[in-house]
Structure 1
Amino acid sequence: MSNNDIMKKLRVALQLRDDDIIEILKLVNFNTTKAELGAIFRADDHPNFKPCGDQILRNFLNGLVIHLRGAKPEPAKKV
């Protein structure tokens, strides 16, 4: 299963739109465009298909954790 397949399945399972995915990626300071996402979600035989790299998938998954659970709390400072 490719990274593109994983992204497609997560998008459908979580009912995410492109805007939602962009916002999730922004949570981990990773910026992308709708055009880039469109290229990732195209069929692999389409001329404008773009393989989803490990970096995009990793940042999406990290952003998804923040989106669903919330930000990791700061550890308490010892006095």
Structure 2
Amino acid sequence: MTNNDIFKKLRVALKLRDDDIVKILSLVDFRISKSELGAFFRKEDHPKYMECGDQILRNFLNGLVIHLRGPRPEKTNNKPQKKSNN
């Protein structure tokens, strides 16, 4: 199964439109146009077909996590401070 297949299946399963995918990718500061995105969803024998690279799929998955769960909360320093005995 190729990255394109995975991307297509996620798009269908989550009922995402091109606008949604562009917004999800922007959550991880990855910019892509709708026409570039459309090239990933074409058939392999189409002249404008483009292979989806690992970086694009990885950024989409990271953006999808943020989209579905929300941004990662800030880490707080909950370590107790040492008391000084003076």
Q: TM-score range by the shorter chain?
A: over 0.9
Q: CA RMSD in A?
A: 1.1
Matched residue, 2:7: 7
Q: How does 1:33-72 map to 2 (within 5 A)?
A: 33-72=33-72
Identity of aligned residues (%): 68
User: In the aligned structure 2, how far is the partner of 1:5 from the partner of 1:37?
Assistant: 13
The amino acid that maps onto 2:30 is: F
User: In the aligned structure 2, how far is the partner of 1:65 from the partner of 1:44?
Assistant: 28
The amino acid that maps onto 1:59 is: N
The amino acid that maps onto 2:34 is: K
**Which TM-score applies when normalising by structure 1?**
0.96
User: Offset of 1:16 from its aligned partner?
Assistant: 0.1
User: In the aligned structure 2, how far is the partner of 1:29 from the partner of 1:73?
Assistant: 18
Q: Which runs of 5+ in 2 are unaligned?
A: 82-86
User: In the aligned structure 2, how far is the partner of 1:44 from the partner of 1:57?
Assistant: 17
**Which TM-score applies when normalising by structure 2?**
0.89
Matched residue, 2:27: 27
Q: Which has the larger radius of gyration?
A: 2
Q: How many residues align?
A: 79
- Give runs of ≥4 in structure 1 deviating > 2 Å: none
